[in-house]
Structure 1
Amino acid sequence: MSQRPLGAQISHMLKSRGVEVIFGIPGVHNQEMYRGIEEAGLTHVLARHEQGAGFMADGYARATGKPGVAYVITGPGLCNIMTPMGQAYSDSVPMLVISSCLNRADLGMGRGRLHEMKDQEIAAGTVCDWSLTAMDADSAYQLIDRALTEFATGRKRPKHIQVPIEVLEALAPAAPPPTTQVTAGYIPDDVTKIVFDAIATAKRPLFVFGGGAREGADVWRDVVTSAGAASFVTYAAMGMFPEGGLHFGSSLARPGSAEVIASADVVIAVGTELSETDLWRDDLGQSGTFIRIDIDADELNDRPATARIHADAGQIAKELWRMRGDWSGQTEWTETAVAEQRQKWRAEVNSERPGILPVADALRVALPADTVVYSDMTQFAYAALEIWPMSAPNLWHHPTGFGTLGYALPAAIGGAIARKGQPTVAIAGDYGFQYTLQELMVAVELQLNLPIILWDNGKLGEIEDSMVAAQIAPNAVIQQNPDFVKFAEAFGAASAAPESLDELQDAVRKALETQGPTLIYVNAKIAI
């Protein structure tokens, strides 16, 4: 069929560009986008709320490296997915949201139309890389290809395309065939030599890696080891380095890390914003030569640096490895000192959040090494992220930055869809879980093998602690919870309520072998 309604043509175009799964909810305004889903051979996942659809698309994208795509309706549908869009923007996740909007003559007119917003395009644009309106088929095709190209060649951040209802309904020719895209990735030798010379002459070289360096992790490990350098990672880069050696782990948020970083004579920050939620202080702490490498030019100028290199982190790593011959690899760092520092920081975490680390250690032992974890904003995750060694990058995904509640369950559903037959786990707190608990029905409906660890301390524990620290009498931090086990059973999910760490490990292992999701209720007093 050379002519189809544009809504159907969009699905065929996405399929031709490698998209396999659409997350969303149909409505009268976007139903034309559903006309071609099955015909194009796409899988559609029906969320219970557009926020859930967005987090599923996010989780799918993080698990695959491919764009997570969502279809939503005009007005409330788009508003509901804006929180996941904001999270994806903060964490550099490739998400493409395609929505309907009012007919061209009604845009911005204030006529009281169904789902009307004053300016839907601008509203969405506040939480994504760009938000644009396709007024005809050619514009829609161009914007989709633009989004996919930018995902492949630059910093991966969400995009929003909206199409008027009448344009979705109108017949349109098929999208042009996909074109081959080649990125040369050439970096001049003199640019790489800036980094090379700094490392070669350093006595205490130190690297700080963010999520933007993950795709070059294997080469970066070789570079760092051969240079005798120490390393830190942000939460987004956990797993880039194995535990031990000269690796300080994901402990940038420890106040003492600033002193360690200040002792380095060269600090190289790769693919990281060095944001508030990476450091929880104003400055990284460096006092010597400071080099930043990032694919996003905007990130290079937010703090003073000796050199700023606008380049793909993976390409820089390859060039450094090619030039490595003159490195001595001599260093003043010692494995003993690094290990002692890490043990000190672990003790600090255990003191600040008593009872969590024994549970985290027990859970880690019970999970296969290749398990992908999706965590929510919960005290369990805050502690575990600092001490949990990962065997590879992209194995733990946390809503850093935007910091939304309700992320873990739907994101883990997206990840489980992407990782069929591979272990995927959600970790959520008792309060945050209730933001998106309805999405448990999606996991049941799809019979996803998904253990859900529900950490229940009966309160908004982090907020209570913050109020106490600020000398505010804790207010509105304790809520009444449902019987989570019965809730899971009502949805048709399996459940468990272990009363010891041994029982927790048994429950997790059983859940990994159970068809369908299992909610594992963990009382915060389990390790006491």
Structure 2
Amino acid sequence: MTTDTLTVGEALVDMLEQAGVDTVFGIPGVHTIELYRGLAASSIRHITPRHEQGAGFMADGYARVSGRPGVCFVITGPGLTNTLTAMAQARADSIPILVISGVNATATLGQGRGHLHELPDQAALAATVALWSHSLTDPADLGDVLARAFSVMTSARPGPVHIEIPTDVMKLPAAAAGFVMPQPQPRHSDASDIDAAARLCANARKPAILIGGGAVRHAAAIRRFAEALDAPVISTTNARGVMAGHPLDVPASPSLGCVRTLLNQSDLVLALGTELGPTDCDMYEDGGFTLPANLIRVDVAGDQLARGVKAALAIQADLGAFIHDMLSGGPSWAQSQPAAGAKRARAAREQAKSELGESYLGHIDLLQEIWQALPDATLVGDSTQLVYAGNMYVEAPRPASWFNSATGFGTLGYAAPAAIGAALGDPGRSAVALLGDGGLQFTLAELGSARDCDADVAFLVWNNSGYMEIETSMTSAGITPIGVTPSAPNFSAVAAAYGLPSRRVQNRDELIAALKDLPRPCLVEYLDAATG
């Protein structure tokens, strides 16, 4: 079939196939059915969540583990507004998701006459969280618009992109012009910046590296760079696992005093692919996070370098390209007899554990036991006790095996759908969703989505009968707790209603056994003894 015999909706799906898209998350509606005309005949798998927010979170989890943008189809108006929370989470964590929505027919736009799903300016609303939001009105522009969307999502700092297509335009014949997938080239540093960075590295005797989510796709390069510099590598939440098992690994939060001491006792710090955000570096909001004056920041986004901590040397570059340039030709700055870095890293790991309380250490041990039992698992978290502990310290087994919504934008309801997306994005690995009893109820119906697609997911519900973290904060502030004890359903009964096996457990051994034994998808409810 030639392109000029296709409708815009069919041509869009054809172009998504050309771009390598294999999965779309969405809920069809009268304003997107023309997209589904093409989808049914394609090789793209369609996953139906129970809510459009779930579609966005699934696309997020899919993107994190696969390294490819997650794609959503959502309807006009409420479909898009329901997805905005997921788009905001993706924006905060620099995750590429493409949201394609319908919009009312061209002749009705901006009239305010009460058409179905009408918004005053839908594209402008999406633009508040999207890197780019575009309304496609000319079929001839389809290929260029889609190419730009992929370019925006992948060529600089990633994030969500939105394209809306009026319902009447979806039906029009597509123009003959095709689609060419953009092939952005990594941005390299200026030679003068590389020379300056090399001089700083050569003069350093106690360097350290701090990495963020931008490092996830460059794990091997960062290991080589850290070894050459003999520098401990401290990872923020989204970078855990980049240095997995390496003697230079410090998988601990910069919010901890011992990690801050390590950084401030260093004579050079390189901040690589991290925005140095407060929820990573100042979780307790004590204002104690500082960095030495001798700081190199490397980020693909120039505007990010202008925010927050000022660096002695700020370099806008693709992180992989920067490390390649630094290591090329056998770097003269490399340490000839590395030894001190591993010793400093080991001391920081030990001090971090001693700084954490007994409760957090117990949670961290449980997380490590889960990985011992399920070494290939991806742990996807909501805001709950296990996740808070792991964000302070956890030794993840590989990049993108630990991520959650408890930092940055900090939405609840993330883990269940994001874990489904993660399992679909990397079919060879299972996913474990770490959930509180309150947080799961934000997206409880996604248990049915997991059953529909037989996702390899275990939903681990940490049931402490309410929002314990908020209750503790209210008590500490001298406020009588109110609104923090929402009743929970019988989770096992809900799971059974959706056809999921489940087990209620009360100790660690039972929990691990359930995760190992139950067929997927499944639900495991842990009754926190602290709540009686």
Alignment TM class, shorter chain as reference: over 0.9
Pairing 1:364–2:366 present: no
Taking the aligned partners of 2:437 and 2:57, their CA distance within structure 1 comes to 18
Pairing 1:524–2:531 present: no
- Whether contact under 8 Å (1:210, 1:237) holds in the other structure is yes
Residue deviations 1:477-510 (CA, integer Å, cap 9, x gap) = 1121111111111110010112322221111111
> Residue 306 of structure 1 aligns to which amino acid in structure 2?
A
- Structure 1 residue 331: Cα displacement: 7.0
Alignment of 1:386-465 (within 5 A): 386-399=392-405, 400-465=407-472
Show the counterpart of 1:250.
252
> Residue 387 of structure 2 aligns to which amino acid in structure 1?
A
Show the counterpart of 2:299.
294
Taking the aligned partners of 1:179 and 1:419, their CA distance within structure 2 comes to 23
- Structure 1 residue 216: Cα displacement: 1.7
- Structure 1 residue 176: Cα displacement: 0.6
- Whether contact under 8 Å (2:189, 2:315) holds in the other structure is no
Residue deviations 1:437-468 (CA, integer Å, cap 9, x gap) = 10110111112221111111112111112212
Q: CA distance change for structure 1 residues 478 and 377 in 2, over 3 Å: closer, same or farther?
A: same
Show the counterpart of 1:472.
479
Residue deviations 1:165-201 (CA, integer Å, cap 9, x gap) = 1111222235514256351644443221222111111
Match of 2:98, SS state, is strand
Taking the aligned partners of 1:184 and 1:246, their CA distance within structure 2 comes to 27
Show the counterpart of 1:382.
388
Show the counterpart of 1:60.
62
Taking the aligned partners of 1:351 and 1:478, their CA distance within structure 2 comes to 25
- Structure 1 residue 158: Cα displacement: 0.5
Q: CA distance change for structure 1 residues 212 and 421 in 2, over 3 Å: closer, same or farther?
A: closer
Match of 2:492, SS state, is helix
Show the counterpart of 2:281.
279
Show the counterpart of 2:98.
96
Pairing 1:305–2:307 present: no
Taking the aligned partners of 2:480 and 2:530, their CA distance within structure 1 comes to 27
- Structure 1 residue 159: Cα displacement: 0.4
Residue deviations 1:123-154 (CA, integer Å, cap 9, x gap) = 11111112111111123332211011223321
Taking the aligned partners of 2:29 and 2:468, their CA distance within structure 1 comes to 38
Taking the aligned partners of 1:425 and 1:439, their CA distance within structure 2 comes to 14
> Residue 521 of structure 1 aligns to which amino acid in structure 2?
E
Match of 2:50, SS state, is coil
Residue deviations 1:81-121 (CA, integer Å, cap 9, x gap) = 00100011111111000111112222121101111111111
- Structure 1 residue 335: Cα displacement: 4.1
Taking the aligned partners of 2:181 and 2:390, their CA distance within structure 1 comes to 44
Relative to the length of structure 1, the TM-score reads 0.94
Residue deviations 1:27-63 (CA, integer Å, cap 9, x gap) = 1111111110022221111111101111111111111
Q: CA distance change for structure 1 residues 90 and 194 in 2, over 3 Å: closer, same or farther?
A: same
Q: Find the partner of 1:321 among 321, 327, 331.
A: 327
- Whether contact under 8 Å (1:359, 1:527) holds in the other structure is no
List alignment gaps of at least 5 residues for structure 1: none
Q: Find the partner of 1:3 among 2, 5, 9.
A: 5
Show the counterpart of 1:192.
194
User: CA RMSD, aligned part only?
Assistant: 2.1
- Structure 1 residue 248: Cα displacement: 2.4
Pairing 1:237–2:239 present: yes
Residue deviations 1:369-389 (CA, integer Å, cap 9, x gap) = x32111111121010232221
Greater shift in the superposed pair: 27-36 or 223-232: 223-232
- Structure 1 residue 366: Cα displacement: 1.6
Q: CA distance change for structure 1 residues 326 and 384 in 2, over 3 Å: closer, same or farther?
A: closer
Show the counterpart of 1:218.
220
> Residue 374 of structure 1 aligns to which amino acid in structure 2?
V
Match of 1:40, SS state, is coil
> Residue 222 of structure 2 aligns to which amino acid in structure 1?
W
> Residue 481 of structure 2 aligns to which amino acid in structure 1?
P
Show the counterpart of 2:496.
489
- Structure 1 residue 76: Cα displacement: 0.4
Q: CA distance change for structure 1 residues 184 and 299 in 2, over 3 Å: closer, same or farther?
A: closer
Relative to the length of structure 2, the TM-score reads 0.94
Taking the aligned partners of 2:334 and 2:425, their CA distance within structure 1 comes to 41
- Whether contact under 8 Å (2:201, 2:333) holds in the other structure is no
Greater shift in the superposed pair: 457-466 or 165-174: 165-174
> Residue 492 of structure 1 aligns to which amino acid in structure 2?
G
Taking the aligned partners of 1:202 and 1:127, their CA distance within structure 2 comes to 40
Show the counterpart of 1:181.
183
Alignment of 1:125-136 (within 5 A): 125-136=127-138
Taking the aligned partners of 2:163 and 2:211, their CA distance within structure 1 comes to 32
Match of 2:40, SS state, is helix
> Residue 14 of structure 2 aligns to which amino acid in structure 1?
H
Match of 1:253, SS state, is coil
Greater shift in the superposed pair: 152-161 or 186-195: 186-195
Match of 2:81, SS state, is helix
- Structure 1 residue 407: Cα displacement: 0.6
Q: CA distance change for structure 1 residues 465 and 331 in 2, over 3 Å: closer, same or farther?
A: farther
- Whether contact under 8 Å (1:9, 1:175) holds in the other structure is no
Greater shift in the superposed pair: 203-212 or 173-182: 173-182
- Whether contact under 8 Å (1:264, 1:288) holds in the other structure is no
> Residue 297 of structure 1 aligns to which amino acid in structure 2?
G
- Structure 1 residue 250: Cα displacement: 2.8
Q: CA distance change for structure 1 residues 390 and 427 in 2, over 3 Å: closer, same or farther?
A: same
Taking the aligned partners of 2:43 and 2:398, their CA distance within structure 1 comes to 33
Residue deviations 1:406-455 (CA, integer Å, cap 9, x gap) = 11111111111122242222111111111111011011111222111111
Q: CA distance change for structure 1 residues 320 and 363 in 2, over 3 Å: closer, same or farther?
A: same
- Structure 1 residue 73: Cα displacement: 0.6
Match of 1:23, SS state, is strand
Q: CA distance change for structure 1 residues 334 and 158 in 2, over 3 Å: closer, same or farther?
A: closer
Taking the aligned partners of 1:352 and 1:86, their CA distance within structure 2 comes to 32
> Residue 521 of structure 2 aligns to which amino acid in structure 1?
P
Q: CA distance change for structure 1 residues 372 and 481 in 2, over 3 Å: closer, same or farther?
A: same
- Whether contact under 8 Å (2:211, 2:273) holds in the other structure is yes
- Whether contact under 8 Å (2:413, 2:442) holds in the other structure is yes
Show the counterpart of 1:76.
78
Match of 1:328, SS state, is coil
Q: How many residues align?
A: 524
- Structure 1 residue 288: Cα displacement: 3.1
- Whether contact under 8 Å (1:97, 1:158) holds in the other structure is yes
